[in-house]
Amino acid sequence: MIVEMEIKMLLAYYQFPPNNGFPNVFLLSDDTSYLVRNDFPISNSIAEQGFVTFMDHFEGCPMEFLSKDKPFLILQENQILHIRSNFDNYQIREVPCQWRFVSPNGYGFKIVIQKFNISKTTSFRIENSTQIIANEKSAKTYHPYYNSDNYIQITLSKGEANFITDMEFQAYISLIKNSQEKTNISCNVLFKNNTIIWSNINETKGYENNIQCFYELILPANAVVIVSMTGYLENKIDYVKYHEIGSYDESSKIIEIPDYQNEIDFVIDNFKDNFDKHFMFEFVSDGSVQFSGFNIVFEFVNCKCNEKVAECSTYENRLMEYPPSLDEYYYCGNLKCNITV
């Protein structure tokens, strides 16, 4: 697809494949056309997603021109607008920035700050028609700011002379329904040999807004389970968490996939008491921005001593037979092994 207009400059964001740090690309060009790329591996993703806008010339701050005369109306839930302080990294910003948006009836906004590196003399505000939601002292990255008002305004004062950083400010804004009741759904569960797979992966449409699903994991006494999570979720907004049912501390732990990765592994064991433990895993999504989803593999480890004869010629004699996904230095508790040398 080629889009052409008789305008000088082009501004585009796109992400492919979806990941935790979107948008992947912030593109500036003097061309008057934009070619949707077709050289991405089909095995990883289905489509390119993002937006393209054209403007007469680069003035002010990126996307600021949309609301220069009046607040920009965001109409659909699947619209995601990205704003930033400068067109390029490591620029001195000589002008203030202001973005204004309005929403249809029944909708508010979600604002997520991705980068925030302003100078000490720069002021910052997120505000609606009645109150200040965040300022330069309270702003947090990857923290969703929800606003039920149908007006939002984001303001940066003029940049400090000689202050240079990769990017002072970057965020994305999307619509969100003011009624945000969660819907319980059933995520997929598959039993295979000594593993259980719990997943909501949907590579064509992504997962739905405002949903939650649960899985109760039962861990027998003297057992170990390796938890391996892969996938793409809206970074630090949609999440999977878990807690032990009936323990003194039922506070939940959120499973976070590290930045620039799509996988995390950890171990849960049950050696202290001679009874089963129950763990509740929960996936939660908010009212906007969907990704492809998560996939969790629960792999149960057979806590059994290695029956092989230990060889004196090597330091690699192992106490247990390890599955490939378990650290070779790990061993189960409560083992009583007799090793033949």
pLDDT, residue 302, reads 74
Q: Are 58 and 116 in contact (CB under 8 A)?
A: no
Q: Which residue has the tokens 């979806």?
A: 18
Q: Is the peptide bond before 23 cis (omega within 30 degrees of 0)?
A: yes
pLDDT, residue 306, reads 72
Task: Work out the pLDDT band at 299, boundaries 50, 70, 90.
Answer: very high
pTM: 0.73
Nearest to 108 by CA among 175, 61, 50, 24: 175
Mean pLDDT computed over every residue of the chain: 80
Nearest to 18 by CA among 329, 257, 251: 257
- Please determine, for residue 290, whether its predicted confidence score (pLDDT) is greater than 70: yes
pLDDT, residue 22, reads 42
Which is higher by pLDDT, 262 or 192? 192
Task: Work out the pLDDT band at 80, boundaries 50, 70, 90.
Answer: confident
Task: Work out the pLDDT band at 41, boundaries 50, 70, 90.
Answer: very low
Q: Is the peptide bond before 17 cis (omega within 30 degrees of 0)?
A: yes
pLDDT, residue 327, reads 65
CA distance 267 to 333: 13
User: Average pLDDT for residues 119-148, to the nearest whole number?
Assistant: 94
Domains contained in the chain, CATH given? 2-177 (2.60.120.290), 183-301 (2.60.120.290)
Of the ranges 67-76, 84-93, 329-338, which one carries the lowest mean pLDDT score?
Answer: 329-338
Residue 338 to residues 222, 295, 304, 307, 335: CA-CA distances in angstroms?
18, 38, 11, 8, 10
pLDDT, residue 118, reads 94
Which is higher by pLDDT, 268 or 23? 268
Task: Work out the pLDDT band at 152, boundaries 50, 70, 90.
Answer: very high
Nearest to 85 by CA among 200, 191, 205, 170: 170
Residues 6+ apart with CB under 8 A from 52: 3, 10, 11, 12, 34
- Please determine, for residue 15, whether its predicted confidence score (pLDDT) is greater than 80: no
pLDDT, residue 156, reads 95
Which two structure tokens, joined as six digits, stand for 178? 């003011």
pLDDT, tens only, 234-271: 888 899 999 999 877 778 899 887 766 678 888 898 87
